[in-house]
Homo-oligomer: A and B are copies of this chain.
């Protein structure tokens, strides 16, 4: 890895999973992304496997073949320099992080005026339904809580819940502001 260069969000997240839950297979890493209730992680093989390949090239993870398994299975573990890279990635937070992220619902709300009033109301209803379903999901305890750091995981999960709760309150206000029925 070039000096001074930072890990991408995907690389950082993958390295974090390997650090906190290793030894784990690449397949297992991918399952974590697929089961994540947070949307936006695609977990496509064409993204995960090359990202792991890069982390191995940088020397941030080690790959150990599993004896007695005829599959090309390898257990991944974070190296010392991998843990150091994870620390740098976390600490070198950018100024723009902390602000509101791009949100497909919010983006669409800006242009609700292009819709007839009836469709505006059903859009907000659908968005609220989705948010309520997502909240129920986000409140489920993790199926596999094995991690080096369960406290921080709980803290992050609370963040997702509070985020969705805020969205639900906001959508109710939008209905008021646009004089739409509930």
- Give the contacting residue for A177; candidates B123, B158, B160; CB below 8 A: B158
Give the distance in Å from the alpha carbon of A114 to the alpha carbon of B108 in the complex. 38
Query: How far, in angstroms, from A100 to B139 measured CA to CA in the complex?
Result: 12
A159 touches B91 (CB 8 A): no
Given contacts A162-B170, A163-B103, contact A110 B152 (CB under 8 A): yes
> Of the 9-residue stretches A58-66, A67-75, A124-132, which lies at the interface with chain B?
A124-132
**Cβ B127 vs Cβ A98 within 8 A:** yes
In-complex Cβ contact of A99 among B19, B138, B155 (8 A): B138
**Inter-chain contacts of A122 with B (CB < 8 A):** 91
| Nearest CB in chain B to that of A122: its residue | B91
Contact of A104 among B9, B115, B148, B166 (CB under 8 A): B9
Instruction: Give the CA-CA distance A84 to B20 in the complex, in Å.
Output: 48
Q: Are A19 and B111 in contact (CB under 8 A)?
A: yes
Asked if A149 is an interface residue, CB under 8 A from chain B, the answer is yes
User: Is A24 close to B, CB under 8 A?
Assistant: no
CB distance from A102 to the nearest CB of B (A): 4
Known A-B contacts A13-B107, A87-B119, A130-B98; the reply to A167 vs B156 at CB < 8 A is no
Is A143 in contact with chain B by the CB < 8 A criterion?
A: no
**Distance in Å: Cβ of A122 to nearest Cβ of chain B:** 8
- Distance in angstroms between the alpha carbons of A67 and B162 in the assembled complex: 52
A110 to chain B, nearest CB (A): 4
Give 7 nearest A-B pairs by CB, closest first: A98-B130, A113-B149, A99-B134, A166-B166, A40-B102, A16-B111, A100-B160
